[in-house]
């Protein structure tokens, strides 16, 4: 009998990319949205290509070119693992088309394979954006051979499999263990956060231990780093450095085996876990209490906060950056920044302020990673008509959707700013710039996220994470902020506070313009 996963995969991929909808829709707006989305993706990919190529050139010039393939595989694998963890098991379970798919004559293995394949391809595209420019630089500066090309092609193709399988396995285990518990959403979120934090801490501690253990030999240092953060990548390095051909095949074999085992195990428990996750028996008996009344806007804001905390996928993706800011703030309490940056005690505040301006770049990058506003409208999904029919203005709805983002990012940003400035001993300019950025940039992330979601809504998601992780507004918010943040970080050396100040001014101007624009918006379900 013909395998049915390709048919399932094709339909799910069409939904994920949204291209079929744009192509088949007679609505010009839909086509414009798709074109805008593609342009944004290409632009961000171009920035990544540029960064990756520059880094690769720098590595080759330092004589570290031979490490590039293994390092690319290792770093992209860790990123894939961390970001897949944020999705938890939502790509497999609690999917809206569960009833349709499960009533069709397809095996559970086909269903799991099709869903994982979608995720694999997305991650492969990410790896390619990093790997292709790196490899072009590598071949240009280190010399080309078909053997190396074949090795790298196989390594890149296999690279997403193992981290994807490992992260999905963790997510599935968490789902399975908590599925029958009353507070499963909260528990899944907490466990997801705990695993994510553990991965981040482990990565940082590995890099520090590698740095301290390798002395001045950069080659040894990076080889140790690759080995610490992602040992299987050393197999790729063995093939390239020592000519051990079996290395890359072993890497591909391990990756493929991990994915196959995952499919086999998850398929065996798929119905049981899904049933438990989707079961919603009536909760505890309601006891009448005094009803709480608030303004319409207050009610909308409260609802947005509840939505943010409603599911692990939404919260994990929506609050990652804020969480990392808080973690950074806590970590800074235990780090001697003056020693780290080799700032002599007698140094003036002006030099220390540069660290604060760099901190603004980090804050901007991480705050951009937490933009639940960029998917809040999309999350209304097919039930959006209910919200749009309420007697509140579109401005109230869109502003309410921006509030949780602005609040959580500002709170985490202020904590980070205060700890950084206090620890470094920043002067008044450093404090002023970093605190202003912590307050003003989250405002732009919130309102800008809401604006982007208005322009690129994705209501036809079948899994929440399609809206909160893989949608165009989230993509623009996260990577746009990343580009801006890295720019501020680098420019802090050259222009001092002015790059961060420019972002602050831009935040105020754009936020005001967006808030004014919301007054002219009308929300319709079509």
Residues that bind another protein (CB under 8 A): 2, 4, 7-8, 11, 14-15, 18, 20-21, 24-26, 96-100, 102-108, 180, 182, 271-272, 274-275, 278-282, 382, 459-460, 462, 526
Closest approach of Cβ 115 to another protein, in Å? Answer: 14
- Distance between CA atoms of 45 and 147, rounded to whole angstroms? 28
- Distance between CA atoms of 52 and 160, rounded to whole angstroms? 18
Name the residue among 506, 510, 503, 473 with its Cα closest to residue 44. 473
Closest approach of Cβ 100 to another protein, in Å? Answer: 7
Name the residue among 247, 109, 238, 89 with its Cα closest to residue 166. 89
Closest approach of Cβ 356 to another protein, in Å? Answer: 47
For residue 7, is it left (φ>0), alpha (ψ between -120 and 50) or beta? alpha
Which of 104, 201 has the CB closer to another protein? 104
Give DSSP secondary structure letters for 207-276.
Answer: HHHHHHHSTT-HHHHHHHHHHHH-TTHHHHHHHHHH--THHHHHHHHHHHHHHHHHHHHHHHHHHHHHHH
Per the structure block, which two tokens stand in for 492? 């802090």
| Contact indicator for 60, 138 with CB cutoff of 8 Å | yes
Which of 473, 485 has the CB closer to another protein? 473
Which of 33, 352 has the CB closer to another protein? 33
Long-range Cβ pairs for the range 51-57 (8 Å, 24+): 51/486, 52/129, 52/130, 52/133, 52/134, 53/133, 53/134, 53/136, 53/137, 55/134, 56/133, 56/134, 56/137, 56/138, 57/137, 57/141
- Distance between CA atoms of 481 and 470, rounded to whole angstroms? 16
Closest approach of Cβ 99 to another protein, in Å? Answer: 5
Which of 112, 362 has the CB closer to another protein? 112
Per the structure block, which two tokens stand in for 193? 């956060």
| Contact indicator for 200, 189 with CB cutoff of 8 Å | no
Which of 154, 276 has the CB closer to another protein? 276
Closest approach of Cβ 110 to another protein, in Å? Answer: 9
- Distance between CA atoms of 481 and 361, rounded to whole angstroms? 9
Which of 383, 428 has the CB closer to another protein? 383
Closest approach of Cβ 32 to another protein, in Å? Answer: 16
**Burial of 196: CB neighbours in 10 Å, binned 0-12, 13-18, 19+:** buried
Which of 32, 180 has the CB closer to another protein? 180
Closest approach of Cβ 28 to another protein, in Å? Answer: 14
Closest approach of Cβ 297 to another protein, in Å? Answer: 30
- Distance between CA atoms of 484 and 371, rounded to whole angstroms? 15
- Distance between CA atoms of 494 and 243, rounded to whole angstroms? 44
Closest approach of Cβ 21 to another protein, in Å? Answer: 4
Sign (positive or negative) of CA dihedral 399, 402, 407, 410: negative
Which of 77, 375 has the CB closer to another protein? 375
Closest approach of Cβ 189 to another protein, in Å? Answer: 20
Which of 99, 217 has the CB closer to another protein? 99
Which of 179, 195 has the CB closer to another protein? 179
Which of 181, 257 has the CB closer to another protein? 181
Q: How many CB atoms lie within 10 A of CB 11?
A: 15
- Distance between CA atoms of 96 and 279, rounded to whole angstroms? 13
Closest approach of Cβ 119 to another protein, in Å? Answer: 18
């Amino acid at each position: 009998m013909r395998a049915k996963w390709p048919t399932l995969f094709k339909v799910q991929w069409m939904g994920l990319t949204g291209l079929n909808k744009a192509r088949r829709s007679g609505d010009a707006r839909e086509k414009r949205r798709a074109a805008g989305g593609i342009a944004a993706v290409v632009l961000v990919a171009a920035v990544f290509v540029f960064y990756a190529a520059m880094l690769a050139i720098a590595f080759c010039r330092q004589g570290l070119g031979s490490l590039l393939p293994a390092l690319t595989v290792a770093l992209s694998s860790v990123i894939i693992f961390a970001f897949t963890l944020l999705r938890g098991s939502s790509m497999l379970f609690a999917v809206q088309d569960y009833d349709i798919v499960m009533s069709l004559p397809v095996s559970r293995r086909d269903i799991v394979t099709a869903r994982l394949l979608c995720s694999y391809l997305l991650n492969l595209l990410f790896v390619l954006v990093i790997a292709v420019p790196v490899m072009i630089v590598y071949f240009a500066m280190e010399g080309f051979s078909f053997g190396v090309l074949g090795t790298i092609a196989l390594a890149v193709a296999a690279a997403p499999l193992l981290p994807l399988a490992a992260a999905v396995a963790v997510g599935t285990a968490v789902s399975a263990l908590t599925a029958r518990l009353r507070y499963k959403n909260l528990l899944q979120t907490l466990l997801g956060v705990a695993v994510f934090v553990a991965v981040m801490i482990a990565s940082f501690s590995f890099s520090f231990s590698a740095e301290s253990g390798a002395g001045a030999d950069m080659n040894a240092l990076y080889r140790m780093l690759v080995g610490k953060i992602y040992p299987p990548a050393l197999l790729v390095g063995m093939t390239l450095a020592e000519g051990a051909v079996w290395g890359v095949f072993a890497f591909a074999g391990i990756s493929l085996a991990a994915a196959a085992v995952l499919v086999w195990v998850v398929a065996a428990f798929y119905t049981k876990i899904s049933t438990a996750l989707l079961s919603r028996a009536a909760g505890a008996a309601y006891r009448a209490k005094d009803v709480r009344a608030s303004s319409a806007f207050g009610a909308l804001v409260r609802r947005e906060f509840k939505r943010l905390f409603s599911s692990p996928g939404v919260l994990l993706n929506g609050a990652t950056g804020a969480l990392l800011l808080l973690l950074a703030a806590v970590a800074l309490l235990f780090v001697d920044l003056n020693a780290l940056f080799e700032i002599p005690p007698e140094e003036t505040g002006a030099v220390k302020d540069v660290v604060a301006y760099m901190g603004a770049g980090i804050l901007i990058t991480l705050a951009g990673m937490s933009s639940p506003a960029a998917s809040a409208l999309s999350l209304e999904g097919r039930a959006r008509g209910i919200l749009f029919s309420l007697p509140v203005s579109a401005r109230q709805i869109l502003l309410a959707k921006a509030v949780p983002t602005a609040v959580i990012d500002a709170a985490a940003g202020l904590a980070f700013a205060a700890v950084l400035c206090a620890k470094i001993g920043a002067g008044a300019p450093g404090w002023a710039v970093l605190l202003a950025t912590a307050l003003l940039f989250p405002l732009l992330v919130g309102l800008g996220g809401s604006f982007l979601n208005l322009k690129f809504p994705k209501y036809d998601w079948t899994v929440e994470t399609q809206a909160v992780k893989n949608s165009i507004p989230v993509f623009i918010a996260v990577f746009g902020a990343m580009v801006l943040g890295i720019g501020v970080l680098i420019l802090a050396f050259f222009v001092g506070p002015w790059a961060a100040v420019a972002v602050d001014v831009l935040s105020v101007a754009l936020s005001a313009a967006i808030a004014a624009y919301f007054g002219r918006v009308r929300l319709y379900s079509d």
